[in-house]
Structure 1
Amino acid sequence: MERFADRVVLVIGAGSGMGRSAALRIASEGGHVWVADIDEDSAKKVAAEIDEAGGRAVGVRLDAADVQALTDLYARIDREHGVLHAVHYQVGIPGPAGLAVSEDEWQRTMDVNMKSAYYATTLCFDLLERAGGKGSITMTSTAAAIIGSPRSPIYSMTKGAILPFARSLALIGAKRGIRVNVVAPGMVETPMLSSFFPGARDKDPAELMASFRSSVPLGRGAQPEEIGNVIAFLNSDDASYLTGVTIPVDGGATIA
């Protein structure tokens, strides 16, 4: 099944983890994937993986908090394709733990987690509208946006802002043939996981993961591919009647 045959898809933050998994899954189903990441080497490596598997991909460096860089990338996609069918936004930093946050830390977290989300998903509207009713935007938030996080309030706040923003964008997009949805992962076993927990890097990895898993009803963290599968679904025609929704992919954490 090639749900993305002849479709152009941009995955922002596709150099590793969930973004990489989404890019690989979409490419495996026929999508022409633009792999964008602030780490250019990682973006090009993922694009090469796709090419080697028989898919089509372009790897590019992108700082999603840089509005001009976003503008330039969309202009390039416009020149090369004239249309964009889907955008997945997979960008975020945990920010500092606790309540003591400097103004510089505050601004940096806001820029990466909120400013980039706004511009990454609004500057592409004209391109997505050209998809003839099949335009789609997905954004990754976090289960902490639903249940809160005592470890990093600034993270749950900034990623939580995506939820009402996506609903507003979905109402605007509905009149232009563009769906907008959100994925809210819980614990995902990626290299970034330990950065969310103060002092985690100094603890025994096996003990740390056991502690993480015990807090999840299903007893384990998600694999990046499990999140990537949901992202691919939401951007496909299989989700053609879904818009404005947030789907927790968290092993039951938000209902525990």
Structure 2
Amino acid sequence: MVQPKLEGKVALITGAAAGLGEGIAETYAKYGARICMVDLSPDVEATAERIRGMYPDARIITAVANVADRAQMDEAAKATADAFGPIDIACCNAGVCRLAPFEQMPDAMRDFHIDVNIKGVWNTCQATIPYMLSNGGGAIVIASSVTGDIVADAGEAAYAMSKAALVGLTKCLAVEYADRNIRVNCSQLGYARTPMVEKMAVESNPDDPESAIADIAVGVPMKRLARPTEVGELFAFLGSDEASYITGAQVVIDGGSTLPETMSIGTN
């Protein structure tokens, strides 16, 4: 029998109550990881209970914590280590996106993206890396985006800025910790059907948000949005020993959406 790829690994996953984080946690449970699911919402426990129902042998704890608060992330990391042992993997997934024209975007909205998307990853890494160092190594997987580093849409200035910053953080940490056996990689997702994307659709087209989501799929060569568990599979691979020689990588997972030069020229 093949051993599950994450058997015995201890993972902390942020933004785990819904959306991508839920998909990542479900996939990690499938592959045998011991998990701490972290989220600002107390709904994270109900999500964990659903995953326990799918995988009765899963070992999961939850922590209600704000990634923008370093002390709270230190507490979540300690709770994880107390329950399961030193942390092997940090999945820095928690993120936010709000849309507004740049000239009208309030400072509070800009700072909200910086606090959650940048400081949240920073805090999660600082809270978990000491456990990895004590255990001889580990892996960090950061949720960046195609937005900011590769493409962008109007109204996404704060989000694009914050997600592009995570590419730089990924590369710096990958270099800094390579000789101490900590690998750091980032995913660059296009669109998945998540509560965050549904909120963006409402902001883009309040009268018909479903049409906004359908229009996203039109521009994807695979003609659909990602499923959260598909993103979970990438996080599982990058967190596992199967990716033992991969660090500092930016892995695009977008169904090919950043590939077409135009939507009107070509033979199809």
TM-score (norm 2): 0.89
In the TM superposition, what is the alpha-carbon distance from 1:119 to its structure 2 partner?
1.3
Aligned-residue RMSD, C-alpha: 1.6
- Residue 204 and residue 112 in structure 1: after superposition, are their counterparts in 2 closer, same or farther (change >3 A)? closer
In the alignment, structure 1 residue 119 sits paired with structure 2 residue 123: yes
Number of corresponding residues: 253
Deviations 1:168-225 (A, max 9, x none): 01111212211000011101112221322434332152x3332111111221111111
In the alignment, structure 1 residue 147 sits paired with structure 2 residue 151: yes
Deviations 1:121-159 (A, max 9, x none): 1221110123333x0000111111221222311111111
In the alignment, structure 1 residue 45 sits paired with structure 2 residue 49: no
In the alignment, structure 1 residue 129 sits paired with structure 2 residue 136: no
In the alignment, structure 1 residue 200 sits paired with structure 2 residue 192: no
In the TM superposition, what is the alpha-carbon distance from 1:59 to its structure 2 partner?
1.5
1:1-256 matches, within 5 Å, as 1-41=3-43, 43-52=44-53, 53-54=55-56, 55-99=58-102, 100-133=104-137, 135-145=138-148, 146-197=150-201, 198-203=203-208, 205=210, 207-256=211-260
Aligned equivalents of 2:255, 2:84: Cα separation in 1: 38
- Residue 253 and residue 141 in structure 1: after superposition, are their counterparts in 2 closer, same or farther (change >3 A)? same
Letter in 1 for 2:8: D
Maintained 8 Å contact 1:248/1:254: no
Aligned equivalents of 2:200, 2:51: Cα separation in 1: 30
In the TM superposition, what is the alpha-carbon distance from 1:111 to its structure 2 partner?
0.7
Aligned equivalents of 2:122, 2:209: Cα separation in 1: 38
- Residue 147 and residue 7 in structure 1: after superposition, are their counterparts in 2 closer, same or farther (change >3 A)? same
Secondary structure in 2 matching 1:149: coil
Deviations 1:4-59 (A, max 9, x none): 11111111111111111111111111111111111112x11122123332211002
In the TM superposition, what is the alpha-carbon distance from 1:233 to its structure 2 partner?
0.7
Letter in 2 for 1:90: N
In the TM superposition, what is the alpha-carbon distance from 1:89 to its structure 2 partner?
0.8
**Greater shift after overlay, 103-112 or 71-80?**
71-80
Aligned equivalents of 1:35, 1:196: Cα separation in 2: 24
- Residue 103 and residue 211 in structure 1: after superposition, are their counterparts in 2 closer, same or farther (change >3 A)? same
Query: Tell me, which stretches of 5 or more residues in structure 2 are unaligned?
Result: 261-268
Maintained 8 Å contact 1:10/1:34: yes
- Residue 148 and residue 204 in structure 1: after superposition, are their counterparts in 2 closer, same or farther (change >3 A)? closer
Q: Structure 1 vs Structure 2: percent identity of aligned residues?
A: 27
Aligned equivalents of 1:213, 1:140: Cα separation in 2: 21
In the TM superposition, what is the alpha-carbon distance from 1:102 to its structure 2 partner?
1.2
Aligned equivalents of 2:163, 2:109: Cα separation in 1: 15
In the TM superposition, what is the alpha-carbon distance from 1:243 to its structure 2 partner?
0.4
Aligned equivalents of 1:215, 1:23: Cα separation in 2: 28
Maintained 8 Å contact 1:142/1:186: yes
Deviations 1:82-139 (A, max 9, x none): 4111010111111332202112222222111111111111221110123333x00001
TM-score (norm 1): 0.93
